């Protein structure tokens, strides 16, 4: 994994240098905007990672294995679907959390359901969504995505 990160840094630096060669001003503005976005994302990212780390430290691996492990079956899928539906976490943060849950005994089926509901179902964002799209559209979209996430989780469970 570490060589991949080094490769990406080197590749990114090369791309920035090529861009700088062709248009210095646009590259400077792009790097400034990128750093500003990074600075804005860093605080929420670190906050969520620290919170998730504390929660994972407090919950023993045996509990995760019992309720979210390979033998948890439909209960584990439903628990992960509910948690994913009500959690508002940016997508790029969920992958390290999912990796840690896998390491602690959660099944791929549960993780797939959790990630899918997290990205596709929005209980927390429902009021805003219903305001712009209407209550019926927002409700139907969320219910169908919830069902789809459970189907995807079971499909992953069969495949893996």
Q: What is the pLDDT of residue 139?
A: 95
Chain centroid, CA 98 distance in Å: 8
What pLDDT, in 10s, does the model give residues 122-136?
888 888 888 889 999
The three state secondary structure string of the chain is CHHHHHHHHHHHHHHHHHHHHHCHHHHHHHHHHHHHHHHHHHHHHHHHHHHHHHHHHHCCHHHHHHHHCCCCHHHHHHHHHHHHHHCCCCHHHHHHHHHHHHHCCCCHHHHHHHHHHHHHCCCCCHHHHHHHHCHHHHHHHHHHHHHHHHHHHHHHHHHC
Q: What is the pLDDT of residue 146?
A: 96
What pLDDT, in 10s, does the model give residues 39-88?
887 877 777 777 777 776 777 777 777 777 778 888 989 999 998 898 87
**Which residue is listed with tokens 């990114």?**
12
What's the pTM value of the predicted model, to 2 decimals?
0.68
Please state the rounded mean pLDDT for residues 13-31. Answer: 94
| pLDDT of 117 higher than 90 | yes
Rounded Cα distance, 12 and 90, in Å = 23
Q: What is the pLDDT of residue 69?
A: 79
């Amino acid at each position: 994994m570490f060589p991949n990160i080094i490769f990406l840094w080197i590749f990114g630096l090369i791309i920035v240098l090529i861009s700088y060669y062709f248009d210095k001003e646009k590259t400077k503005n792009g790097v400034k905007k990128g750093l500003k976005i990074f600075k804005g994302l860093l605080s929420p990212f670190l906050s969520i990672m620290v919170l998730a780390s504390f929660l994972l430290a407090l919950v023993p691996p045996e509990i995760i294995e019992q309720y979210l492990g390979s033998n948890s079956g439909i209960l584990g899928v439903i628990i992960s679907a509910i948690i994913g539906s009500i959690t508002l976490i940016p997508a790029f943060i969920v992958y390290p959390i999912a990796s840690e849950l896998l390491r602690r005994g959660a099944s791929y089926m549960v993780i797939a359901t959790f990630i899918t509901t997290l990205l596709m179902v929005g209980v927390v964002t429902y009021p805003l969504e219903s305001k712009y799209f209407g209550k019926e559209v927002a409700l139907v979209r969320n219910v169908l995505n919830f069902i789809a996430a459970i189907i995807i989780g079971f499909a992953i469970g069969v495949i893996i």
